[in-house]
Chains A and B, each alone.
Chain A
Amino acid sequence: MNTSVADAETVKSTIGPDDFDWIVLRHQKQIYRTLLYLVRDTDAAEALTQECFLHAFRNHRGFRGESGLATWLVRIAINLAHDHSRNRRWAFWRRLTRTDNVEAIRAPSVQRSPEQALMYAESVEAVRSAVERLPERQKTAFMLRFVEDMPLEDIAEVMDLQTGTVKSHLSRALEAVRGACAKKRI
């Protein structure tokens, strides 16, 4: 990451239209990843990523620096993803295309033996399928915590929940994932 950009972000408590060039550059990947994970549709994730930055741009005066810029953007992205999920037309379409329009979660290009690769794939699949079955809030909390490495306080802010509630969601989500992993081993 560019240090000057990081410093600028740390210091800034307000943002202006001119800042959006570096804001998009710096955060588009995380926003896209969050949205893709939540909506499971590459086209929708791309469109919603654009919407997210457009929304942030239009409401940039609402950013007062109480939360981090990433937290603010992720919050917008999650709201957009939830709106998208509530849209029945999209929900129908997503059901039809769920497995076709999203790339399978794949192993990074690390050299592994066939046995290791198989174990890796099984482990990832066990977690993925368990997370897929989680209720929306648990899934979101899990994703923010274990995929985005977001601190609990920020997750609470993004999801508009108490930190204790986030912990409770995470605990339940982990229990489900633990169960799925244990089942896979049997």
Chain B
Amino acid sequence: MYPRSRNKQGMKDTHAVDPELGEALRQFRESVHASVERPGFFWKRQHQEIMARLVSSEATPKSRALRLAPAALAIFLCLFFFVESSKAPTPDLAAGSDQILLIEIERALSRDCPEALDPAGVFHDELDKIGRSQ
């Protein structure tokens, strides 16, 4: 409980009430204190229970970690598989590029002139048409 001397200032501030109300408050306080009166064994039992919980909580960090280990492992594995499965399939670049190159070569061989000279080919065709018409 609080020392009366320390409490004096506070008492001045809020206990400045009329005597009747002061008496009602005093009786109320007295009755609340009386309502939690318990036999000695109640407090002894509660003390023992609290101390038992404190002791067990002190001993638990290791065991708690052990208890949580399987759950943590399961979560880790789930995350791992989830991440793995959600990755976009990587195209087989090597095989794809070979195939594209072969197609390009085939196209180049089947052409009359190289692709880079296509505009010149068109120009030549146009000149050829003009010459024939004249």
What DSSP secondary structure best describes chain B's contact surface?
Answer: helix
- Please give the distance in Å from B14's CB to the nearest CB on chain A: 5
Contact with B along A41-84 (1 / 0, CB 8 A): 00000100110011001100000000010100000000000000
A residues 141-186 in Cβ contact with B at 8 Å:
145-155, 167, 170-171, 174, 177-178, 181
B residues 40-55 in Cβ contact with A at 8 Å:
43, 46-47, 49-51, 53-54
Given known pairs A32-B36, A33-B36, A123-B24, the reply for A108 and B13 (CB within 8 Å) is no
Number of interface residues of B (CB under 8 A): 36
Name A24's contact: one of B13, B33, B47 (CB within 8 Å): B47
The answer on a CB contact under 8 Å between B46 and A170 is no
Q: A17 to B59, alpha carbons, bound, how many Å?
A: 12
- Please give the distance in Å from A55's CB to the nearest CB on chain B: 10
Chain A residues lying within 8 Å of B2, measured Cβ to Cβ, are 68, 70, 148-151, 154
Contact with A along B15-39 (1 / 0, CB 8 A): 0011011011101111111111100
Chain A residues lying within 8 Å of B34, measured Cβ to Cβ, are 105-109
What DSSP secondary structure best describes chain A's contact surface?
Answer: helix
Chain B residues lying within 8 Å of A152, measured Cβ to Cβ, are 9-10, 13-14
Kindly state whether residue A21 has any CB partner on chain B within 8 Å: yes
Kindly state whether residue B97 has any CB partner on chain A within 8 Å: no
Residue in A36, A105, A153 whose Cβ sees the most chain B Cβ within 10 Å: A105
The answer on a CB contact under 8 Å between B54 and A108 is no
Given known pairs A146-B25, A151-B2, the reply for A106 and B10 (CB within 8 Å) is no
Kindly state whether residue B63 has any CB partner on chain A within 8 Å: no
Contact with A along B67-104 (1 / 0, CB 8 A): 00000000000000000000000000000000000000
Kindly state whether residue B7 has any CB partner on chain A within 8 Å: yes
Kindly state whether residue A104 has any CB partner on chain B within 8 Å: yes
Kindly state whether residue A133 has any CB partner on chain B within 8 Å: no
Given known pairs A58-B57, A105-B31, A105-B35, the reply for A167 and B24 (CB within 8 Å) is no
Chain A residues with CB under 8 Å of chain B are 17, 20-21, 24-25, 28-30, 32-33, 36-37, 46, 49-50, 53-54, 57-58, 68, 70, 103-109, 120, 123-124, 126-128, 131, 145-155, 167, 170-171, 174, 177-178, 181
Would you give 14 A-B contacts (Cβ < 8 Å), ordered by A? Answer: A28-B43, A29-B36, A37-B32, A50-B50, A57-B58, A70-B1, A105-B32, A106-B34, A107-B34, A147-B28, A149-B2, A151-B6, A151-B9, A181-B21
